[in-house]
Amino acid sequence: MFRSRSVPSTALRALRHPHTHTPRQTPISTTHPALPQCLRLQSRRFGATSRCTQEKPSFKGQLYESTQQRLARERAEQAKYARSQQTSSGARAFALTFVLLSASVGCYYLGSLKPASLPSSSTTSLADIHPPRHDTSPSNLQAAWADFVEIVGKENVSTTKDDVEAHSGSEWSSYAYKEKEKPFLIVYPSSTEEVSQIMKVCHSRLIPVTPYSGGTSLEGHFASTRGGVCIDFQRMDQIVALHKDDLDVVVQPAVGWESLNEELAKDGLFFPPDPGPGAEIGGMIGTGCSGTNAYRYGTMREWVLSLTVVLADGTVIKTRQRPRKSSAGYDLTRLFIGSEGTLGLVTEATLKLTVKPKSESVAVASFPNIQSAAECVAKIVAEGIPVAGVEILDDVQMKCINASQTTSRTWKEAPTLFLKFTGTPVGVKEQIGIVQKLANSAKSQSFEFARNEDEKLELWSARKEALWSVMAMKRNPDDRVWTTDVAVPISRLPDIIEQTKEDIVQQGLLAGICGHVGDGNFHAILLFNKDEKEAVEGVIHRMVKRAVEMEGTVTGEHGVGLIKRDYLPHEIGESSVDAMRRIKQAFDPLSLLNADKVVRIEPPGIGELKKW
C-alpha cells in the first residue's frame, strides 16, 4: 500500500482556479514535491487540461471505475450483437421464405406441365432418331487395345496394315469402302465368354464394332463405316457337338459349310444350304443365305434351330433349346437370322441336319433363249418333280466360263439349265427321264446328264465358278465386279431377266446372269472400271426397281448391307423399316453393332438417294 500526501486547501483552490482573485495569498514553497511536476506539465501542455487539476481516485475507486467501464463495454457489445442477430435472423428468414416461395412456384409450374413418358409410338422414324455418339479417339482405342490384350492375349489383337486392309473390304464386294472406313484393330476371340468381355469393353467405351466371319458377303456387310474395332471369329471354328440320333449339330461361327459337310458325310449326314465357296456359318446366318439347294431344301432360316448370341452390352442369350419345334415365346432365332450382325453377335449355332441322299446326279440342258429355259422350269414345277436344284446361266455367263477356262471342259454358249437330282438310284433315274422329255418339249438344244461322280462334279463346277469366271475377265487391275441379286415370283423371272439383259447391252457392259431359277432368284455379275461405274449403278437401280414393281424383293439371298438399305422402304414400306429401326434400338441403343447396315441410323446426305 502507498499513502497520498495532503495538500493545503488554499493551494488546491489556487491550482484549480488560477485566475480567481483571492484576498490573501499564502506563499507556496517550490520545494513541495507535487508542485514542480504540475507546473512542468502545465508549461509543456499549454491549453490542455492537466491530470493534476483533478484529484486522483483511490485504487479501490480506480478498480470500481474500470469494472464499471468494462461492464458498460460488455453491455454495449451485447446490445450490438443482439441488434445484429435480429438483423441476420430477419435476413435469413427473408431468404428462407424467398427460397420456399420460389421452390413452391417452380414445383407448381413443373407439375402443371405434361409429365415425361416413354415413347408411345411402336416405330422409330429416321427423323426421330439421334445420331450415335461413338468415341473413336486414338486414346480411347489405344486404351481398349490394352483391355483386349488382357482378354485374348497380345498375339490375338492386330493393328498391322495388311490385317486392317483385309478386313475393310474385298474385290468382289459391291461396296467400295472409303479410306476412313477402316477398323483401328482386329481382335480374334476364341469363346463366347471372350466375345462377351470384348463387347463389355466396347459398350463402356462407346466403340463401334464390325463382325467378320468368312468375308464372302457382297453388299458391304463388313465395311467399318464408323471405324472402331473388327471382331474376326476365325479362331472359333470348332464343331462343338454332333447329335447324330437327333440330326443336329452345334458349331461355332467360323465353321465353313463345305468343311462341315465333309465331316458330316462320314456319318451319312448333310447340311443343305450351299452359298458361295468360302462362306462360314456366322456369315450365312447373318445374311440369311441359301444357295443352289434352296428349291428343294429351303434357305438358312429353315436349318437353324438355336443360337447363342452376345448382345451389344455383353449380355449372352440363347434363343431356344434343341427340339425341332417349339411354340415358346418370340422366335428370337429367326429374328437374328438375316440381321447382319446389327442386333447381336452369333457365337454358337445349333443346325438341323438331314440324311445324305443315297444317290445324286446332275443334268445340263441348253436352250435357244431365256424364255425357252424358263418354260422348261415352269413345266418341271408344274409336274411336281422334287429336283434338288434348278440353276440358270445365260449365254454371256457361259462365254465367260469358257474364256476364263475355270472348268475342265468347253460349254455350249447358250442359256443353260443346271439341274440337280437326289434320292434313291431308281428315283433319280426316273426324275432325269421325265425332265429330259420336258426339256425337249421346251426346244432344248442339248441335254446331258452325269453318269458317274466325276462327271457330276464336272458339270456342276460351271455353276459354282460363275463369279470367278467373270472376275477372270478383268481388262486391267483396276476393274471391279458388282454382284447383286433380286427375286420375283417365278412366273415373272423370264421377264426381268430379259429386261435386265437388254439394259446391260444398251449400256455396253460385260455382265453374266445366273440364278436359282426354281425359286425366282437371279444374280447379275457386272464387270466395270471407274468410267463405267455410273452406268453400272444405273443398271442395278433399274433392276431393283423392276423387281419391286413385279412384287419381288430387292435381295433374294445376298442381304441388305449398305447397298440395298435405301430400297427397303419401296419394298416393304416406310412403317416396316421404322419398325426394324425400333428393334435395332431395343437391342443396340448405342448403335455399336455393324452401324449403318440394313437400316439407316442417320439421315442420308445430299445426293445419296437415287430417284425412284
Q: Mean pLDDT score of the chain, rounded to an integer?
A: 86
Axis-axis angle for helices 192-205, 138-152 (nearest 10): 160
Single pTM value for the model: 0.79
Query: How high is the pLDDT of residue 456?
Result: 86
CATH 3.40.462.10 matches 359-559: yes
C-alpha cell at 58: 483511490
Annotate 42-63 with b (16+ C-beta within 10 A) or e (fewer).
beeeeeeeeebeeeeeeeeeee
- Say if residues 562 and 225 touch (Cβ distance below 8 Å): yes
Query: How high is the pLDDT of residue 459?
Result: 83
Kindly compute the dihedral angle of the four CA atoms of residues 223, 224, 229, 232, in this order, to the nearest 10 degrees.
0
Q: What is the pLDDT of residues 525-577, one digit of tens each?
A: 999 999 999 999 999 999 999 999 999 999 999 999 999 999 999 999 999 99
CATH numeric code, 239-355: 3.30.465.10
Question: What residues of the chain score a pLDDT lower than 70?
Answer: 1-67, 70-71, 74, 81-93, 107-118
Query: How high is the pLDDT of residue 449?
Result: 85
Q: Does this chain's domain 239-355 share its CATH topology with 359-559? A: no
Collapsing DSSP to helix, strand or coil, 87 comes out as helix
Query: How high is the pLDDT of residue 452?
Result: 82
C-alpha separations of 354 from 1, 272, 302, 407, 446 in Å: 129, 8, 12, 30, 33
Query: Beta partners for 132?
Result: none
Query: How high is the pLDDT of residue 30?
Result: 42
Query: How high is the pLDDT of residue 460?
Result: 85
Query: How high is the pLDDT of residue 90?
Result: 62
Q: Which of 213, 292, 223, 286 is nearest to 254 (CA)?
A: 213
C-alpha cell at 390: 434348278
For cell 437401280, what's the residue? 541
Axis-axis angle for helices 533-549, 493-506 (nearest 10): 160
Strand ranges inside 303-409, DSSP E: 304-310, 316-318, 345-352, 354-355, 359-366, 389-393
Q: Which of 609, 597, 399, 413 is nearest to 512 (CA)?
A: 399
For residue 583, the one-letter residue type is I
C-alpha cell at 285: 446366318
Q: For residues 466 and 400, what is the distance between their CA atoms, to the nearest angstrom? A: 8
Q: For residues 190 and 253, what is the distance between their CA atoms, to the nearest angstrom? A: 10
Q: What is the pLDDT of residues 410-434, one digit of tens each?
A: 899 999 999 999 999 999 999 999 9
Give the number of other CB atoms < 10 A from CB of residue 190.
Answer: 17
Q: Where are the domains of the chain?
A: 239-355, 359-559
